[in-house]
Amino acid sequence: MTVLVFIKDLLLATFGQMASLFAGVFIFGLLIHFFSQLTFKSLERAFGRKGVYLVAWLGTPIHELGHALFCVIFLHKIVKIEFFKPEPVTGTLGYVSHTWNRSNPWHILGNFFIGIGPVLLGCLALLATFYFLIPGSPRAWDAVLSGVRGVENINTVGGYLAIFRGSSLALAASIFTLDNLGGWQFWVFLYLSICVASNVRLSVSDLKLALSGIGCIILPFLLLNLAALLLGPGNGELFPWTASSLGVIYSLFVLALIMVVIGFVLTYTPAACYVKMRRGTWLNPF
């Protein structure tokens, strides 16, 4: 094996594993952020700045708690935290101010998880509302997990999209049933999940923070893959994880994306009708 081939195999193995483990966080996070922004803009343009409080009062504290939780885990010092304190001038709804030692690898690694913390905690909060308020949710969730694990045998973008489309339809079909529509639990779930999902997003500052810590994740992968290639067993034995083994996480992202899209539709429709009646124009959410 030539040096160039060795380096190529090392880099391909490392970045392939990184993509399998973390690409979904950023892709789904950005998609959720896009629809969340549409929801917030629709509410603000129709009803003023306070219109966003309709969905932000619950989702924002969970978002900030996601940052704070990983600050504690990775030993960052929390200077100040505001779970929900709207600032009319800046548009900020809440924030976590923290400091860390820039020469401490554990602190730097923490930046990655602190940045994506709101996505992880928000998805868990959505799962909790789903389990407690939707009848038959465990069976429905098992079906979604089975579908998402099918990505192991998929090697094309179209195949991935088909898997996630099927999982999304299965999940939506388990939520929006006639029996569920007749129960109060469904409507409580719908509202709470929209509040949470609208804030399961990665802001620009969150992305910058997460990317600042990603180097401390790549380095261990490089070193272990280097050892695997030198010793000859193959990197698959050291890193057996694939997207299929992350079925729970990807299924949570599917749930969050479904709810934030539904949230946009259900908030934009009345907001657009209100603007049309009051101002004679259609509401532009972009």
Contacts of 58 (CB under 8 A, 6+ apart): 192, 195, 196
E strand or H helix at 108, and its extent? Answer: helix 105-133
Q: Residue 200: what pLDDT?
A: 85
Structural domain spans, the chain? 3-279
User: pTM here?
Assistant: 0.84
Structure-token pair, residue 88? 């009319």
- 238-243, long-range: CB within 8 Å, 24+ apart, which pairs? 239/13, 239/17, 241/17, 241/20, 241/21, 242/20, 242/151, 242/152, 243/20, 243/24, 243/151, 243/152
pLDDT tens for each residue of 70-110? 999 999 999 999 999 998 888 889 999 999 999 999 999 99
Q: Residue 80: what pLDDT?
A: 95
Going from the first residue of the chain to its last (286 residues), give the mean pLDDT of each consecutive group of 10, the final group possibly shorter.
Answer: 79 78 77 91 92 93 96 96 89 91 92 92 91 82 68 60 73 84 91 92 86 86 82 54 60 85 93 91 90
**Which amino acid makes up residue 282?**
W
Question: In this structure, how many other beta carbons lie within 10 angstroms of the beta carbon of residue 101?
Answer: 12
Q: In angstroms, rounded to a whole number, what is the distance separating the alpha carbons of residues 207 and 197?
A: 18
